[in-house]
Each structure stands twice: as structure tokens, then as C-alpha cells.
């Protein structure tokens, strides 16, 4: 099983609390992504990073923040400004070379619920 | 705006019947098209992509640029094909835009 590890599997957030979702990859991929998955809406892009120390907002970045201090790690913080955080969050990384170029590989996800 | 549309949220077929999952896209330039699949209790994974022109698990998908479609087909569905299927497109920035998904159920 491999490549991209997300933790924790389940996370609960109290009102007004910031929580951080972890994403680690050992695939040596430069690009990493965070998606939010809601029933009936598919996956929507929150943030992405093409390289260390750089990241860009996706379609639904409001209420979220990220950092990319290491190639292997791309943590996502769900801030108190995100009013509807209950969702399934998926992290992915993208291969940039060889036969697998441009394929995104996904983690197992973190399910976030609000208490 | 870039958009991927999967018109069917739910699709049920009987085992051995042909299955077609529809996907239409609206994209500037020449996007790369993918089908991803999520089996129950497994992570999302690539099924196939248009540049490979390959058949995976009996599935094929043909890119029709005129109709901007990338429908997924299999001539004889199996029960193990039951899963959520997502069509996705990637443009020059290499971000994936996903459709809303089709839940396929193959009945015995």
C-alpha cells in the first residue's frame, strides 16, 4: 500500500477550531493537491502545489490554508472561517515523468465532521 | 469555464449486459482525459486515460473531439465493476477537473 499517506482517517472539529489534515508522500512527486469530496458533487480542488514553497488556490480555497515546506508533505488546515467543513478530504500527488506522467495518485482520505 | 459533465448519477445494469458511462467536457485547448474509479472501501485510482488508448479490466474509452465526449464502455459488465466512476480532464496547468461521478451497480 503506498505512496500517499493521509492522517487521521477520521477527524472531529469543534466550533471555532482550526484542524490540520496531514498528507505525506514518498513517491518523489513535485506536485501535490487537496480535493474535497461531497456526495453528488464529485471532487473539487482546494489548493495545489507544483513545487516546494509554492502553492496556488483552487476552486474552493476559502476557509482553508496550506503549506509546502517539504517535498514530501502538504498539510491542509481547515480554519474556523470554513462554515461547512464536513466532507471527505483527498490528497493527491502527480507524477511528472515517464509512462505515468500526469497521473494523479490519491491517498485514502480523511473524513472530517463537525461536533 | 472548464467543466466535466457526467449526466447520470446512478446507473444499474445486469451482469453480462453492456455498459456505457457518459462524459462530456468543456475545455479550452486540448485537455487530457481520464477515468478514475473508486471501489467500495478503496482509494480513488486511475482506470484509464485517453492517450494510452488501452483497455483496462475490459473498459475502453474513446475521445470524440467533435462531440467533446469521452464515454466509458464495457461490452459485458461484471459484478466487480460496481463502483463510483469519475471522468476528469487536465489542462495545461495539470489540475484535474472532475465530473460529479456515476455510481455503477451491476446486478446479478
Domains of chain B in sequence order: 3-107 (2.60.40.10)
Distance from CA of A16 to the nearest CA of B (A): 30
Residue B40 confidence (pLDDT) = 92
Q: How many CB atoms lie within 10 A of CB A111?
A: 14
Question: What is the Cα–Cα distance from B98 to B85, expressed in whole angstroms?
Answer: 10
Calpha distance A28→A52 (Å, rounded):
12
Task: Name which of A35, A40, A45 is nearest B100 (Cβ-Cβ).
Answer: A40
- Give pLDDT, residue A16: 85
| pLDDT confidence of residue B23 | 97
How high is the pLDDT of residue A37? 93
The top-scoring range by mean pLDDT among A25-34, A98-107, B52-61 is A25-34
DSSP string, B45-73: EEEEEGGG---BTTBEEEEETTTTEEEEE
Q: How confident is the model at residue A71 (pLDDT cuts 50, 70, 90)?
A: very high
pLDDT above 60 (res A1):
no
pLDDT given for residue B50 in this prediction: 85
Task: Please indicate whether, in this complex, the C-beta atoms of A42 and B46 are within 8 angstroms of each other.
Answer: no
Q: What is the dihedral of CA A55, A58, A60, A61, to 10 degrees?
A: 10
Secondary structure of residue B79 in the 3-state scheme: helix
* pLDDT at res. A2: 60
Q: Of B9, B43, B97, which is closest to A106 when you measure between CB atoms?
A: B43
User: What confidence score (pLDDT) does residue B4 get?
Assistant: 95
Rounded Cα distance between B67 and B2, Å, is 16
**What grid cell was written down for B99?**
465530473
Q: Which regions in chain B score pLDDT beneath 70?
A: 92-93
Residue A50 above 80 pLDDT?
yes
Amino acid at each position: 500500500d503506498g505512496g500517499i499517506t493521509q492522517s487521521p482517517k477520521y477527524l472531529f472539529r469543534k466550533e471555532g477550531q482550526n484542524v490540520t489534515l496531514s498528507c505525506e508522500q514518498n513517491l518523489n512527486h513535485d506536485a501535490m493537491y487537496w480535493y474535497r469530496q461531497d456526495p453528488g458533487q464529485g471532487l473539487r480542488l482546494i489548493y495545489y502545489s507544483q513545487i516546494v514553497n509554492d502553492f496556488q488556490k483552487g476552486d474552493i480555497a476559502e476557509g482553508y490554508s496550506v503549506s509546502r515546506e517539504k517535498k514530501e508533505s502538504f498539510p491542509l488546515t481547515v480554519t474556523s472561517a470554513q462554515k461547512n467543513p464536513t466532507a471527505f478530504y483527498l490528497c493527491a500527488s502527480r507524477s511528472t515523468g515517464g509512462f505515468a506522467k500526469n497521473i494523479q495518485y490519491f491517498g485514502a482520505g480523511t473524513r472530517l465532521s463537525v461536533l | 469555464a472548464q467543466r466535466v459533465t457526467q449526466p447520470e448519477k446512478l446507473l444499474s445494469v445486469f451482469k453480462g449486459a453492456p455498459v456505457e458511462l457518459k462524459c462530456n467536457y468543456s475545455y479550452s485547448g486540448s485537455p487530457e482525459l481520464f477515468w478514475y474509479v473508486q471501489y467500495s472501501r478503496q482509494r480513488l485510482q486511475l482506470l484509464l486515460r485517453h492517450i494510452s488508448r488501452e483497455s483496462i479490466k475490459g473498459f475502453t474509452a474513446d475521445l470524440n473531439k467533435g462531440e467533446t465526449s469521452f464515454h466509458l464502455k464495457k461490452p459485458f459488465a461484471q459484478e466487480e465493476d460496481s463502483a463510483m466512476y469519475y471522468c476528469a480532464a487536465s489542462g495545461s496547468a495539470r489540475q484535474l477537473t472532475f465530473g460529479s461521478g456515476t455510481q455503477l451497480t451491476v446486478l446479478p
